[in-house]
Amino acid sequence: MTTHTRYTGLIEHYRDRLPVSDSTRIISLGEGNTPLIELHNIPRLIGKDVKIYVKYEGLNPTGSFKDRGMSMAVTKAVEEGSQAIICASTGNTSAAAAAYAVRAGIRAFVLIPEGKIAQGKLAQTLMYGAEIIQIRGNFDEGMSLVKQVADHAPVTIVNSINPYRLEGQKTAAFEIVDELGEAPDYHCLPVGNAGNITAYWNGYSEYAKETNGIPAVSSKVPVMCGYQAAGAAPFTAGKMIDNPETVATAIRIGHPQSWDLAWNVQKQSKGWFDSFADEKILAAQKMLSAYEGIFCEPASATSLAGAINDIATGKIPEGSTIVCTLTGNGLKDPDTAIQQCKDAHPVSIDASLDAVKKAILDNM
């Protein structure tokens, strides 16, 4: 006899490790349970004996890892009686906040840097009907305003300074260990506010020890590698920066909110931070699409750019198992993708069999 279990989101799936009770109304869109895809062609291309997996978070309901945290944060906001949520965002948090607010029947206010969020993210946020407040300033300024206004208006902040966000996001680490049977040796992530690297570390650490009577699931934790865009790299600079700039707009952040937490992750996991030029990040994005059939947004490819660099230098040794998180879907930022492929010239032909035949045979 076959039994059917319907996957209904990460809170239900990891309920015994998350702050919910039997009476909690769970706000979910079926987030989590995303594919962990082993790269087949890139390791061969770089000529190294490594196992690289990508955790494709672009397949979450709003197309990014933010859905994990937002499911948890909105569930708790509703449980606490909140009627409205607010966030500052480079685009993905706003899309997720907007969607989960609709699902819950509450309002969402989102502050975004005018002209600096990718088209797909803007389209989503508009469609979900959030109250969009565009500011003539960057993410860091928006974040500072959100923190101030929360003292003056009845709104719950759902940026990653909300601890429930990290609780939801730690489940990605659980899924990886559940699938691989053990933690990877290295885990590579793009870093903006550094909430996600902290959340993964919390998840891996929790799984490596007995928690609330649940035995440990893994016998080790990975080395955590955090990568930034060179123009927005406070962690490699060792200090906050005021005018971050990068094509990877999702991580165009100079004042990370989880600064101390992320340094703690680096020390505890014996990991490191590094940063890469936009060209390197875009090259990694293109490589994933062209060699593996995986389309992620520019910021997400920073994890692979970093991994490839550290594999090449031997900092990540051969024989390692590496997981790179691909934080967001490539469809989020069609403009950058089309710009990347401006030298590809699709042919235009008459709609006839002869012309199609010729177009194929000319290109064989």
Identify which range of 28-36, 280-288, 296-304, 335-343 contacts ligand F0G by CB under 6 A.
296-304
186 CB contacts (<8 Å, ≥6 apart)? Answer: 222, 223, 224, 225, 307, 310, 316, 320, 321, 322, 323
Identify which range of 85-93, 263-271, 313-321, 344-352 contacts ligand F0G by CB under 6 A.
85-93
Phi then psi for residue 59, to 5 deg, are: -95, 15
Separation in Å, CA 109 to CA 137, 179, 314? 17, 37, 46
Binding residue for ligand F0G, selected from 18, 102, 146, 194, defined by CB under 6 A: 194
CA atoms of 201 and 138, how far apart (whole Å): 28
Question: CB of residue 105 vs ligand F0G: minimum separation in angstroms?
Answer: 23
Query: Per-residue x/- marks for ligand F0G, 196-235, CB under 6 A?
Result: x---------------------------------------
Burial of 18: CB neighbours in 10 Å, binned 0-12, 13-18, 19+: buried
Question: CB of residue 202 vs ligand F0G: minimum separation in angstroms?
Answer: 12
Question: Does 90 participate in binding ligand F0G (rule CB under 6 A)?
Answer: yes
Is residue 112 a contact partner of residue 119, using CB atoms and an 8 Å limit? no
Question: CB of residue 192 vs ligand F0G: minimum separation in angstroms?
Answer: 3
Size of the site for ligand F0G (CB under 6 A): 22
- Name which of residues 1 to 60 contact ligand F0G (CB under 6 A): none
| Closer residue to ligand F0G (CB): 106 or 189 | 189
| Closer residue to ligand F0G (CB): 93 or 269 | 93
Question: CB of residue 114 vs ligand F0G: minimum separation in angstroms?
Answer: 14
Question: CB of residue 258 vs ligand F0G: minimum separation in angstroms?
Answer: 7
Taking every pair of C-alpha atoms in the chain, what is the biggest distance, in angstroms? 70
Question: Does 195 participate in binding ligand F0G (rule CB under 6 A)?
Answer: yes
Six-digit token string for 217: 């699931």
CA atoms of 356 and 323, how far apart (whole Å): 42
Question: CB of residue 260 vs ligand F0G: minimum separation in angstroms?
Answer: 14
Question: Does 124 participate in binding ligand F0G (rule CB under 6 A)?
Answer: no
Binding residue for ligand F0G, selected from 297, 311, 323, 324, defined by CB under 6 A: 297
| Closer residue to ligand F0G (CB): 27 or 194 | 194
Question: Does 63 participate in binding ligand F0G (rule CB under 6 A)?
Answer: no
Question: CB of residue 350 vs ligand F0G: minimum separation in angstroms?
Answer: 41
Question: Does 64 participate in binding ligand F0G (rule CB under 6 A)?
Answer: yes
Question: Does 299 participate in binding ligand F0G (rule CB under 6 A)?
Answer: yes
Residue 115 Ramachandran class (φ > 0 left, ψ -120 to 50 alpha, else beta): left
291 CB contacts (<8 Å, ≥6 apart)? Answer: 41, 42, 45
Angle at 330 between CA 285 and CA 69, to 5 degrees: 110
- For residue 177, give the nearest of 301, 323, 61, 69 by alpha carbon: 323
Separation in Å, CA 4 to CA 1, 7, 9, 60, 179? 10, 10, 15, 22, 20
Q: Helix 171-180 to helix 195-207 angle, to the nearest 10 degrees?
A: 50
Question: CB of residue 247 vs ligand F0G: minimum separation in angstroms?
Answer: 13
Question: Does 193 participate in binding ligand F0G (rule CB under 6 A)?
Answer: yes
Query: Per-residue x/- marks for ligand F0G, 243-272, CB under 6 A?
Result: -------xx---------------------
Binding residue for ligand F0G, selected from 113, 192, 306, 330, defined by CB under 6 A: 192
Question: CB of residue 214 vs ligand F0G: minimum separation in angstroms?
Answer: 26
336 CB contacts (<8 Å, ≥6 apart)? Answer: 118, 247, 282, 297, 298
- Name which of residues 125 to 164 contact ligand F0G (CB under 6 A): 160
Site of interaction with ligand F0G (CB under 6 A): 64, 66, 89-93, 160, 190-196, 250-251, 297, 299-300, 327-328
